[in-house]
Structure 1
Amino acid sequence: MYKTMQVIYTALARLPLTAFALVASALAKHAATVIKMPESLIEEEANMKSFKRIKNFPNVIGAIDCTHIKIKKVGGDITQYYINGKGYYSLNVQVVCDANLKICNVVARWRGNTHDCRIFDESIFKQQLEAGKFKGRLVGDSGYKL
């Protein structure tokens, strides 16, 4: 999966900016129909069974983490907020995937210096979890509070 994404990224990076914008726009247009959390208890239970089968994680519907997407230097007074802990300009993008590595939720609007737990704390997805929309839980690294 990673190698495939790397090949796609490399190919897109070689496109002229207008072609890249067209491809990105087309992907974004269809994102809502492809990137989504389980919509029924049956789908949610299938996710839980998959995580249980793979690593014996009970009641898990998704794995969460953030990744830094490198961007060009941001100018102006806010430039320092885009520099992440590794010293380069980025967006910190939160992704939730299921046991089959299908992306189910994305938050891609935070500056590079934003901590993972803040992105989750302020997400609509966290509100949905707390409201009981989903019966399962997430698994994540130490960047997320219990």
Structure 2
Amino acid sequence: MYLILRATQERIEARIDLLDTNDLLKLKKGWLFDWRKEYEADGNYVYKVITPNNDVIHGLLSVKRKNDHLYVNLLEKSNLNKGKEKAYDNVAGILLAFSCRLAFAYDYDGFVVFDSKTILINHYSKFYGARVLSGQRMYFDTVSAKLLIEKFLL
């Protein structure tokens, strides 16, 4: 999996690992969500996307197993990777694709559910292939999950 350095379009190797307590100490201001709370919540798994050469955290993902799908509690890109001046592309795509990979590993046939901000519904649909389930709730099914994995993780 690769992040794309926007300045040069260079592909930079990325890796996903579970967040640990040492990472929580390194998280500085600038994150919108309370990742310590997510980390400590019962049943949550929090993952980070990093560049292996420097362990910079580019994005975070919190998921929880449900009866028949994986639920994305939160997904957030670091300030370095937000807005028009962001340093890297693919952060959100990698995290969403990883959640789909987990959903296959847990025998959910790739089904992932999440709640989107209203303003991002079209973006998730157009760029990632998510579908609206109801209101702001969106999902990836088996087909869209496989496509997302192929695009961002392989």
**How does the TM-score come out when normalised to structure 2?**
0.28
Q: Which has the higher contact order (CA 8 A, sep 6+)?
A: 1
User: Over alpha carbons, which structure has the higher Rg?
Assistant: 1
